Amino acid sequence: MKSYEVNFDGLVGPTHNYGGLSYGNVASQSNSQQGSNPREAARQGLAKMKALADLGFKQGLLAPQERPDVAALRQLGFTGSDAQVIQQAASQAMPLLVASCSASSMWVANAATVSPSADTADGRVHFTAANLNCKFHRSIEHPTTSRVLAAMFANERHFAHHPALPAVAQFGDEGAANHTRFCRDYGEPGVEFFVYGRSAFDSRYPAPQKYPARQTLEASQAVARLHGLSDDAVVYAQQNPAVIDQGVFHNDVIAVGNAEVLFHHQDAFLDSDAVLGQLQAKLASKGGHFQAIAVPRAAVTVEDAVRSYLFNSQLLSRDDGSMLLVVPEECRNNERVWAYLGQLTAQGGPVKEVKVFDLKQSMQNGGGPACLRLRVALQESELAAVNPGVIMSAPLYATLLQWVDKHYRDRLVEADLADPQLLLECRIALDELTQILQLGSVYPFQRQP
């Protein structure tokens, strides 16, 4: 039976803004309080989805979330009507209103961790929504994320859904941004690679000194247990604390993997030789041939990698066995990175082509091509069981462009977040979107009695 890796991209929400909310994410903080363009952001994301679908890759999308999150503001003591809650938050605690308006769910690499049926004990595709509890604005996402994923992957014969891990620091889970899977073929048993920043309960593990390590070893281990993964199908690796302190807040800012290939920076992992050795041995036991492409620091510094988002790229397999690397425009604008990519495609390795996309609206908030997509490996029968309304096509692309142009503003600054009309605009847009994508009632405002 044929199998596929399907990329489900996050659709940018109507409240896309530059709140500078993500400490440790250099781009997010450096662009704080600039004016954003939600309409352009959504169009840029849709253009990437459509382009990859046109190239023959299986492509879907995840819907954005309702923002501002009035329920979260009520939990923090603001009262009255929805409009009064927003106005109180704006006058008394603007940072909380900004956080409740974040469109960060667009980066669906953080939505969940996904294990395909070939790896799991019960032969189903498993999803665990990420708790994202390191940042308030992201910690409020997982209830809606779980409902959206359940509406997309609804067939219990094929799909299993787990709630987020306990919302405490010891089980900080950032989803697929710290998870990669290696395999000979997407439908065959593979090796799942979990990268963590620290251990919550063992002080022998080093930790970064400047920025937080968002993913814990214990969270990664819990997800592996929930998904029914055997020991021979899992490798755990600690991210280099020194690169976290340089702005590498997730593994997907310093490494990307696909099929049998890991493309990573020389300084990505704490003990690279041991990590690569485990990956090679475990993949070999499943009939695969592991290949590591280590980018030397002499060619590309960690600072270059963070500024260009070289590794926050998509590594995609073509039908002929070659690979396409999808990178943001910032890679072409960095002389050293672009020179390295020219050498990479010329040296006869698996990466034969580099494709550049303009994702400036997302990049200015610290999210590149890889942040915008959640990868799901599916057998043909499983793909047939996915909600067809979320699979990208030419008609859906045209419909969503019209929907964006109808509902999204072309400029948003912090002061606009205090406008209660923005919440109404968001709800009207999302209500229409659930009909377009055939999702049913997944948003809180749709589920109120």
In this structure, how many other beta carbons lie within 10 angstroms of the beta carbon of residue 385?
A: 18
What H or E segment, with its residue span, contains residue 7?
Answer: strand 3-10
353 catalytically annotated = no
Catalytic residue among 141, 174, 192, 218: 174
Q: Whole-angstrom Cα distance, residue 343 to residue 201?
A: 43
State the DSSP code for 165: P
Verify whether residue 162 is a known catalytic residue.
no
Q: Do residues 265 and 305 lie in contact, with contact meaning Cβ atoms separated by under 8 Å?
A: yes
- Given the residues 141, 371, 382, 426, select the one marked as catalytic: 371
Q: How far apart are CA 130 and CA 165, in angstroms?
A: 7
- Beta strands 234-238 and 191-196, pairing class: parallel
Catalytically annotated residue among 126, 137, 250, 264:
250
Q: 426 catalytic, yes or no?
A: no
**Considering only CA atoms, which of 92, 132, 97, 105 is closest in space to residue 41?**
105
Task: Please calculate the CA angle 145-414-102 and round it to the nearest 5 degrees.
Answer: 10
The contacts of residue 270 (CB under 8 Å, 6+ apart) are: 206, 237, 238, 239, 240, 241
Provide CB contacts within 8 A for 95, sequence distance 6+. Answer: none
Active site residues per annotation: 174, 250, 371
